[in-house]
Amino acid sequence: MSALDGLEVRRTTTAQQLADGLADRIMAGAFGPGDRLRESAIAAELGVARNTIREAVRILELTGLVRYEVNRGAVVIAPTPENVEALYTARERLETAAAVRTPRPEQLQAINTAFDDLVEAAKTGDPKQIVDRDLAFHQAIVTTLDSSRLDDFYAAMTKELRFYLTVLSKDDTPDEIVAEHRVIVDAIRAGDRDRAVAEISAHIDTSVQRLKQLLADDR
């Protein structure tokens, strides 16, 4: 008898692709906060098995974009000030902890490259590219903590962060986004840890306040 007897290997590629596609639609506003993701309707429209749709929705649930509600099923999250505060507090603590460390040469190069990629994305004016490069820049900073667990934790948070950054990017100009990140990378390059921490904290705190204001305006 093998230790692997009875182990079922399932292919999840289709479900992951569907989850990514649904996430893109949520980011684009096709599904708004509180909207239901009707598995049967989505399966029928796309010609995909309902079980595959259910698995895709479960993946979205893990990212924080969707949650299950009694008698309603899967619904797109409706952000609250408390959710924003909790998520961004976790983000700030990770990034500021990373900012007090001295990055190794290859880590500094990764941060520089990520910033350069953000600058190039800003030139395109494409919100999706900008958000992707924005998150990659901050992920590069967190990598200086030298913890694969923390890297994975932050990467998981970026799924939900992407939702909020997409909301914010609608009001930001590409130049403003680059400027906010330039002061951070300049401080890191200069080895000024205190300034790096201060700039990251200011950047995140500003985002939190703007998100809370947007939530208040929508009420």
Q: What is the pLDDT of residues 186-214, one digit of tens each?
A: 999 999 999 999 999 999 999 898 888 87
* DSSP helix/strand/coil, 10: coil
pLDDT at 83 over 70: yes
Residue 53 has a CB neighbour count (10 Å cut-off) of 26
* DSSP helix/strand/coil, 76: strand
* Tokens describing residue 75: 């619904």
Residues near 97 by Cβ (< 8 Å), separated by ≥ 6? 145
What DSSP assignment string belongs to 177-193?
Answer: HHHHHHHHHHHHHHT-H
- Can you tell me the distance from the alpha carbon of 130 to that of 173, in angstroms, rounded to the nearest whole number? 10
DSSP state of 145: G
* Tokens describing residue 67: 């949650």
Q: How far is CA 102 from CA 42, 90, 93, 144, in A?
A: 49, 21, 17, 8
Percent over 90 (pLDDT), the chain: 48
Helix (H) or strand (E) holding 55: helix 50-63
**pTM to 2 decimals?**
0.78
Per-residue pLDDT tens digits for 108-156? 999 999 999 999 999 998 888 998 999 999 999 999 999 999 999 998 8
- Identify the structural domains of the chain with CATH numbers, from first to last: 13-76 (1.10.10.10), 81-218 (1.20.120.530)
